[in-house]
Chain A
Amino acid sequence: MDEKVEVVAPAGNLASLKAAIENGADVVYLGFNDATNARNFEGLNFTPEELEEGVDLVRSKGKKFYLAVNTFPQRDSFSRWQRSVDNAVLLGADALILADLGVLSYARRRYPDINIHLSVQASASNYESINFYRSRFGIKRVVLPRVLTIEEISLLRQRTEVELEAFCLGGLCINVEGRCYLSSFVTGASTNTEGACSPSRFVRFTTGEGDRLSITLNNVLLNELEATESSPYPTCCKGRYMMPDGTTSYAMEDPESLNALEVIPGLIEAGVTALKIEGRQRTKSYVAQVTRIVREAVDSYYEAPASFRIRREWERQVTSTFEGSSQTLGCYLEK
């Protein structure tokens, strides 16, 4: 069998980076602490100086790191994105994860030899699109939007040379990343440009009668929860709405997280090169736990592909990280 599938883990800070590396990640992915990456939350991400320390750690363990510069600059801010690209190259990133056509053009022109991965934010979900980015920018890999079944990934694999990276655990965007303006519509802060969906400055949790919790985003009510119900981070897609017939419903998505452990064999056999864990905004203990589980799952697959089974402790531990939300396979098996 070829090389093992790569386990790509999130690192929102040095502690998480360390946790990921110590728990079996082959690669960590990260971003600078500004709008040039798509997880631009307060207190998260790295200054170039902090990163140097992280890079030393990554290298000392013989691992790799990818740097995400995967948002969409507007107006006169383009130079900041150029600087992030420059800094990522200076730090020796094993690949840059890019999305914007302008940033891609700059990076390829300025640095003909770097590895470029096409970010999920570029929404390239078919081989014509992926091959376009390949011919124009020489992308080495694409991070696949979460709109494909495993069967579709397998067919895609046959039509492109570009490596495929697929999400396997963590938060789940039900709408196509990079093509979702729900948070921007409600708040005015562009997720694509600012790098944050439902920025915390717009979120309010208010406890009312009978401990009922109201959650608003820029004064738009996203949910009301009984004291016994729990909710993940409030985004429009996981809000509860009133339907035309007067019933209330999670119209787009139940509060749920992606858990694709059981289809890891399918993803590997479909030909993906890397499995990605979502969660740069999560804690180091989350990163440690889920990275270790994915590592164990991948290793156990290669030891005996035919008898791959989900271990009960993985299931229990993964579910405990979902903060009360349920788990889903997304559309990996059917739409």
Chain B
Amino acid sequence: MELTLGPVLFEWKKDQLTRFYEEVAGMDVERVYIGEVVCAKKRGLGPKDVETIGAMLEQAGKKVVVSTLAVVSNEEELGLVRDLCALPFPVEANDMSVMNITDPGHREVVAGPHIKTYNREAVRFLMDMGIKRITFPVELSGESVRYNIDDTGVEAELFAHGKVPLAFSWRCYTSRAYGLKKSECRHDCARHPDGMEIKTLSGEPVFTINGTSVLSAKPLTLVGFVEDMRKNGVKALRISPHHRHTKETVEVFRARLDGQLTAEEALRELRSIYQEEFVNGWYLAGAGKDYLADGAISARS
């Protein structure tokens, strides 16, 4: 099973991103997604920077894939998608526009987590177009993913660690929190390198607002389900970058894949690194917000 590093979902400054990807070059991941999924207004890396960093990562032996916007509503956003698609790397589609801009029959295109691939028939449709790898929507259970892999043989990737993307809007929620409209963007999201956590009125951390997107407050982790995912034929696990702990998280997952850590040990390790709780409920067909005991897998089967 491979480890991959997802695209940075937050607004980080260019020098911070450059330093981060220099560090990524030394991380034990097979594949790195780089590009822009959330907002065309971010200032971090332009397409040229993505190309330079991508080449550096390829030199370091990584497979580099360019991620594209999840919501595309105007020429500015289409322009960014086209510029990213024009780079000399495979492309991760997060909106169907990519399928019209570039032909998956003639170049490598993968379907990202924001393409709605819910069932075998949808998998077959994408595979018939030439797409070999699909990162399934985050809400699918392990069972549902297994069903989609069986018979189709698709290369399945799962969002396996990090604050999990839950929604996208035309509205910029971070700007709203600062009393502004999206068109008045002051890049306040740059002040929140892991997004802005919001709590329920009873004080329970529930969501993270991040520009035009909403993520979970607690990070998701599937570190407990490695054996089950392997058995189900999952090909790759995606770790979503946070501004701290990304390197350590990759190390824990690598040790898990190599059989050096049990589920309990890995979870203990992650809890001591993050000093917070995680969620994983969707994998077991529960509520995404919950953490369900790893034992639930064996109890179920």
Contact = CB atoms under 8 A, between A and B. Distances in A.
A220 B289 CA distance: 10
Given A75-B147, A220-B204, 13 more contacts: A73-B119, A78-B119, A123-B116, A128-B97, A128-B100, A155-B74, A176-B168, A179-B70, A181-B138, A186-B287, A244-B196, A252-B171, A334-B183
Contact of B121 (A105, A129, A184, A334): A105
Interface stretch (A9-17, A89-97, A235-243, A314-322): A235-243
A286 interface: no
**Residue of B121, B124, B143 with most chain A CB atoms under a 10 A cut-off:** B121
B96 A331 contact: no
29 contacts: A76-B147, A78-B121, A100-B122, A101-B116, A101-B117, A128-B100, A131-B100, A132-B100, A148-B170, A174-B171, A175-B168, A179-B114, A185-B139, A185-B287, A185-B288, A190-B139, A192-B118, A192-B137, A218-B287, A221-B204, A239-B200, A242-B198, A242-B200, A244-B197, A248-B201, A252-B214, A331-B171, A334-B183, A335-B170
A73 B118 contact: yes
Contact of B207 (A178, A190, A241): A241
A128 B201 contact: no
Interface string A184-210: 111110101100000000000000000
A310 interface: no
A334 B182 CA distance: 9
B298 interface: no
Interface in A59-98: 72-76, 78
B59 interface: no
A217 B171 CA distance: 24
Interface of B is mostly: mixed
Contacts of B196: 243-244
A252 to B, nearest CB: 6
B282 interface: yes
Contacts of B281: 188
A149 B209 CA distance: 23
A156 B281 CA distance: 40
A-B pairs, top 5 by smallest CB distance, nearest first, are A102-B121, A128-B97, A188-B287, A185-B288, A72-B118
A124 interface: yes
Interface in A126-183: 126, 128-129, 131-133, 135, 145-149, 152, 155, 174-176, 178-182
**Residue in B118, B172, B286 whose Cβ sees the most chain A Cβ within 10 Å:** B118
B139 A152 contact: no
Contacts of B254: none
Interface string B132-164: 000001111001100100000000000000001
Interface in B195-225: 196-204, 206-207, 209, 214, 216
Given A126-B77, A192-B139, A335 B119 contact: no
Contact of B285 (A148, A188, A224): A188
A283 interface: no
A103 interface: yes
A145 B96 CA distance: 14
Contacts of A241: 198-201, 206-207
Given A101-B122, A132-B99, A182 B181 contact: no
A187 B182 contact: no
A8 interface: no
A78 B114 contact: no
B121 A106 contact: yes
Interface in B82-116: 95-101, 114, 116
Interface residues of B, number: 70
A38 interface: no
B120 interface: yes
Interface string B275-294: 00000011001111110000
Contacts of B95: 123, 126, 129
B75 interface: yes
A249 interface: yes
Contact of A240 (B96, B140, B147, B201): B201
Contacts of A252: 169, 171, 173, 176, 209, 214
B167 A176 contact: yes
A222 interface: yes
A304 B139 CA distance: 50
B181 A334 contact: yes
Contacts of B98: 128
Contacts of B199: 241-242
Interface in A241-265: 241-244, 248-249, 251-253
Nearest to A185: B288
B267 interface: no
Contacts of B27: none
Nearest to A180: B167
A135 B171 contact: no
Most buried by B among A104, A218, A221: A221
Q: Which of A103, A122, A181 has the most CB of B within 10 A?
A: A181
A132 B143 CA distance: 30
Nearest to B138: A181
B120 A102 contact: yes
A242 B77 CA distance: 32
A115 interface: no
Contact of A74 (B114, B144, B170, B173): B144
B145 to A, nearest CB: 10
Nearest to A237: B167
